[in-house]
Amino acid sequence: MSNIVEPLVGKIATRIRAERDRRGWTLVQLAEASGVSRAMISRIENGESSPTAVVLGKLSAAFQLSVSELLARAERESDQGSVTGVDTTDPADRTGPTGLTRQADLPTWRDPDTGYRRRQITGPDFPADITEVRLPAGAGVAYPAAAFAFIRQTVWVLDGRLTFHEGATVHELDAGDTLELGEPAPCTFQNSTTAECRYVVIVTRGRRQ
């Protein structure tokens, strides 16, 4: 079974606070940059609330990080060991000299709101960020345009059907279909079917020329 990062509320809280401190931002400044309320950010940083995928998307966009980057940094927090029975060893310590990582060791994060699951395929030193996502039937996750301003992204559907809203344009993607995102726009990943949708997101940093 995958290493579920869901219980790592404390590590995510610490990472968000660290990213805010690195920029010298107050809670109010982060709230203004992200569109997440000051009260919600405070609860997340204090470990009182587990952020949803939508909230993580907004905070990541404010930090100019992908959600995967933010979660990876949280997982690599300095306090090693087990939290609530979950292996939180640095992925570099789990990977052999050939760069091999077993399926059971791939970190997976579950959205407490929708049940959406992200499994990180590539490590922090790989030049592309590749993530497998399982979107439950009837679920949807929305991200602001700012989340795509500093990255290039391709979506590849593996199983099921994905309705992808890219600004005012709606794409219906079936298994095997791919979509390379255009200019930054508010985007929604929507599963309007009665079966789970599984897809891969491939991200590289850099603006379009």
Instruction: Return the half-sphere exposure (C-beta side, CA atoms, 13 A cut-off) of residue 156.
Output: 10
Which ranges of the chain does DSSP label H, i.e. alpha helix?
A: 9-22, 27-34, 38-45, 53-63, 67-75, 91-94
Specify whether the CB–CB gap between 101 and 72 falls below 8 A: no
Write down all domains in the chain, each with its CATH number in brackets. Answer: 3-88+105-205 (2.60.120.10)
Q: Are 114 and 136 in contact (CB under 8 A)?
A: yes
Of the chain, the percentage scoring pLDDT greater than 70 comes to 83
Report the candidate in 179, 167, 174 with the shortest Cα–Cα distance to residue 198: 174
State the pTM of this model: 0.81
Q: Phi and psi dihedrals of 97, rounded to 5?
A: -65, -20
pLDDT tens string 30-68 = 999 999 999 999 999 998 888 999 999 999 999 998 888
